[in-house]
Chain A
């Protein structure tokens, strides 16, 4: 029998909206001027929202990842607590990781060092957030085949990786027809509806 409670990661329950709710709830966001809500920002997807799980003490996996207006990383620790990493923390972790890459000591680029899971800095760099925050070290990473392999392995489940790839690589677009055509528009343009609540579709009696 199918069961109603899906044991899925809690953010997946409400997807990128859940992630956004979490950030709004934490109260630690700065509201950029001129923006009003989740949907006005949705069009500017230059960042990533990443949820990283601690899977063993000091070992991490990427649980969820969504395009977002700005880059934010939530860490879910083994004891169940959650923490939003600040920009300073992220920068420090990425910088530390960059030094390891330069010294050839990072499992992200050095296959001999792989195994035993990722540190927090490595998990961040393996995520979409890492690609954005660490863009200045991008060239060292993105052409490295071991980094690409590690990136795949860093996700909590193959489906988390699949999801991530799906949301970030909408590169394929269907060809747009630009032939001459006669179209009609302006339906429901009367503007007779007003008010904030729905004019239909609500709970019926």
Chain B
């Protein structure tokens, strides 16, 4: 049973001052719960260890996909294969941050990987800032939270320069390279999540700027420009597969820019491999019966299972099936004719009212922060964010 504690909510005015405008869902209810999950120290440690173990496994699986040329098998669009390979070859294409979605971890249930949002994870604001402010505003010990997301991402930005060296040495090696941050115009959540990342990079010591995707200029030969300035790094909160499908010219230009070493694009293209749910089948092949994994196949399983499209998001296109493949529950929207994986069904921990909790665990060089989503059996766009504290 999930343990909860009541807290006084943060006011919409306060949240908006921070730039967190998406505090209210379309049905008028608050997106951030006025309760927090109470986690034991041992549970927090276990989450941390799980994130680090899982990331190492993803790196091994990534190597396997590249070596065996399995890009098609896990649904990587053909026009991004070169970009994925190129980014995989060199550490300067540093993975800034990702988020593991996990079942279990509280109330005695074992931690199980549901998926890895490695390319464009959101819920960053909620995890790094909002739940921290929730503890602080309620007079609780704000250090009693598994949350050093901000600091971990800041240090990871510095690793773009020092790589495996000490992030503290950033100032010694930094020569003024600039990062341009971009989101697609029209979604305040995407925009301000991107601006939050910009602020973190700013705190790290980088020169930064922000431009909507449509304002950025791209040149195969010369790189990435905004307002007449060239940028050595471009961070885009735009899924790689969206670029591949909706703006295939951009996919080609970005590949050439990488080839010509004119800019580094973040998160790197190889995070699309991690993002593909097809990777969880590869993981199961490489690490069969690993305690952090759920059985996953490209074919229907003979047990209660969840069918997920390779690049589905927000629970879209997800179906829960019984052992004979009959649909029990269906997610909000379909994702066309994408190939799917079939993953063994794992119930999410529930509270007294039967509401389910899925852990979102941020990773930036190491496991760095925990937050929860609460909803029904399939978590969609109406699920709530629930913060936590460590008992």
Contact = CB atoms under 8 A, between A and B. Distances in A.
A159 B230 CA distance: 30
Interface size class of A (residues with CB under 8 A): 35 or more
A200 B175 CA distance: 34
Contacts of A189: 185, 213-214
A14 B17 CA distance: 15
Interface of A: 2-8, 10, 12-18, 20-22, 24-25, 31, 36-39, 42, 66-67, 159, 162-163, 165-167, 170, 172-174, 176-179, 181-189, 191-205
B366 A2 contact: yes
Interface of B: 14, 16-19, 21-22, 25-26, 44-45, 47-48, 101, 114-115, 117, 119-123, 128-129, 132-133, 136-137, 142-144, 146-148, 150-151, 154, 168, 170-171, 174-178, 184-190, 192-193, 195-196, 198-200, 202-207, 212-219, 221-222, 225, 228-230, 232, 237-239, 242, 246-247, 249-250, 253, 306, 308, 312-315, 318, 331, 358, 360, 366-367, 373, 378-381, 383, 390
B22 A196 contact: yes
Closest 9 pairs (CB-CB, A-B): A205-B315, A189-B214, A166-B205, A183-B217, A205-B318, A193-B186, A37-B19, A172-B176, A205-B378
A198 B193 contact: yes
Interface on chain B toward A: helix, strand, loop, or mixed SS?
mixed
A30 to B, nearest CB: 12
A42 B208 CA distance: 11
Contacts of A203: 101, 117, 123, 314-315, 358, 360, 373, 379, 383
Given A14-B129, A170-B207, A204-B379, 4 more contacts: A67-B202, A197-B187, A198-B122, A201-B190
A205 B308 contact: yes
16 contacts: A4-B148, A5-B146, A6-B151, A10-B136, A14-B129, A159-B168, A183-B225, A187-B213, A187-B250, A191-B186, A197-B26, A198-B193, A200-B239, A200-B313, A203-B123, A205-B380
Interface on chain A toward B: helix, strand, loop, or mixed SS?
loop
A38 B19 contact: yes
A76 to B, nearest CB: 13
B214 A185 contact: yes
A41 B132 CA distance: 22
Nearest to A35: B17
A202 B228 contact: no
A161 B148 CA distance: 20
Contact of B306 (A8, A12, A36, A205): A205
A74 to B, nearest CB: 12
A150 to B, nearest CB: 20
B170 A166 contact: yes
A204 B101 CA distance: 8
Most chain A beta-carbon neighbours within 10 Å: one of B44, B150, B178, B331 = B150
B255 to A, nearest CB: 14
B123 A25 contact: no
Nearest to A172: B176
A42 B171 contact: no
Contact of A13 (B115, B148, B177): B148
